Amino acid sequence: MLSAAAPVVLLLHHGLDNLGGKTGLTLLRYRSGPILAVIDPDHAGGCLREITGIDRAVPVVASMAQALPLLTSAPSSRADGGEPGTAAVAVVGLAPAGGRLDEGVRADLEIALQAGLCLASGLHTRLGDDPHLAALVQPGRWIWDLRQEPAELPVASALAASLPGRRWLAVGSDMSVGKMSACLELQAAATSRGLDARFVGTGQAGILISGRGVALDAVRVDYAAGAVERAVLDAAEAAGPETLVLVEGQGSFCHPGSSATLPLLRGSQPTALLLVHRAGQVTIRNHPQIPLPPLNELITTLEAMAALARPQGAAAPPPRVRAIALNTGHLGADAAAEALAATAALTGLPCHDPVRAGGGSLLEALLAQAG
């Protein structure tokens, strides 16, 4: 429902400089459509590049009231009656604990709806079910709660295995290591080379960026693989043998609270796996008592799991881990280069940081490895 042309006001109250604003920060980095303002009273008037390191010229303001004049000055926004798909959208870029918004965010949402903006949210709490907010929605406008289970989901049956082209699934050693970013960097690199590259979002930020996908953590476990299968089949519509479908990973087999990797494997029936890992990490970040296995052991486990539940006579062989996307964002240039070289030597696989260096080298390595 969020078109690429729709102007966005990004609500990032107290989240512009921390992981609480991860969704919004991802949109700032990767959304191709217009973002006209960021709301964060902690950093109002500041330079977005200096605060976040993201090279994008977007004003940071303190409130929705300060953002509205920026919308009315943008010809494409037309918050009070533009063409379909061009109405401005207030996007909640936060991931607060428990999905509850503080009073400042809620007040700005009310102002946005009263002004004729639409609202998009990936929170577990459905804003469209709030009677007060729903009553403020202006004619022709909407509230999109994207974290919902799609209707009439099937149980997966390995249908994606019969698709033409390549399907690459990002799998992580932990949560929040950069699986979505790696996929988006690969898509950008592939598109720049004239390849047909399609991204399947499986979390709130990926869906907001691409406009399609499935919020996997909103789906009942029995239907999770079926939801991924449907999303991959939809993304691969009219695909050819050279089409590249990039499936955003979620969670990790290594995390004690995560069950997302298995339905992603089952539903997407990948032709190759991309392992995403943070350089130097040896335990689960939020559970330091849980050690990570050596990368070679993790690769063996991933490949063994991916070889199961595949149809007999599938066009492609069981998927292998073909490359490693190494997150070196916390390292200086020299330390990052050392970590990349060490990881490549340890695993015998191509190893690149697609966020730091762009996705071109990783794309070339994956294409070469996949034959």
**Which tops the pLDDT comparison, 82 or 99?**
99
Least confident of 43-52, 69-78, 112-121, 352-361: 69-78
**Residue 106 clears pLDDT 80, i.e. is over it:** yes
pLDDT digits (tens, 9 = 90+) for 132-149: 999 999 999 999 999 999
Angle at 262 between CA 218 and CA 171, to 5 degrees: 95
Long-range contacts: 125-129, Cβ < 8 Å, 24+? 125/98, 125/99, 125/100, 125/101, 127/92
Q: What is the DSSP string of 343-366?
A: HHHHHSS-EE-HHHH-SHHHHHHH
Give me the pLDDT at residue 85, please. 47
Would you say 290 and 283 are in contact if contact means Cβ atoms under 8 Å apart? yes
Report how far residue 229's alpha carbon sits from residue 156's, in angstroms, rounded to the nearest whole number: 6
User: Residue 276 is encoded by which pair of tokens?
Assistant: 């995403």
**Residue 71 clears pLDDT 70, i.e. is over it:** yes
Give me the pLDDT at residue 74, please. 61
Name which of 70, 63, 143, 67 is nearest 103 in CA terms. 63
User: Residue 19 is encoded by which pair of tokens?
Assistant: 């992981």
Q: Which residues pair with 352 in a beta bridge?
A: 325
User: Residue 237 is encoded by which pair of tokens?
Assistant: 């519509």
pLDDT digits (tens, 9 = 90+) for 12-41: 999 999 988 989 999 999 999 999 999 999
Average the pLDDT over 215-238 and give the result.
96
Banded pLDDT at 367 (limits 50, 70, 90): very high
Task: Determine phi and psi for 264, rounding to 5 degrees.
Answer: -65, -45
Residue ranges of alpha helices (H) inside the chain are 22-30, 48-52, 64-72, 103-114, 131-136, 179-192, 204-210, 221-235, 261-268, 295-306, 333-347, 354-357, 360-369
Give me the pLDDT at residue 200, please. 97
Domains and CATH numbers, the chain: 8-145 (3.40.50.720), 159-369 (3.40.50.300)
Q: How crowded is residue 272: how many other Cβ atoms within 10 Å of its Cβ? A: 20
Mean pLDDT score across all residues of the chain: 93
Task: Determine phi and psi for 291, rounding to 5 degrees.
Answer: -75, 150
Report how far residue 174's alpha carbon sits from residue 169's, in angstroms, rounded to the nearest whole number: 15
Banded pLDDT at 177 (limits 50, 70, 90): very high
Name which of 279, 343, 329, 273 is nearest 301 in CA terms. 273
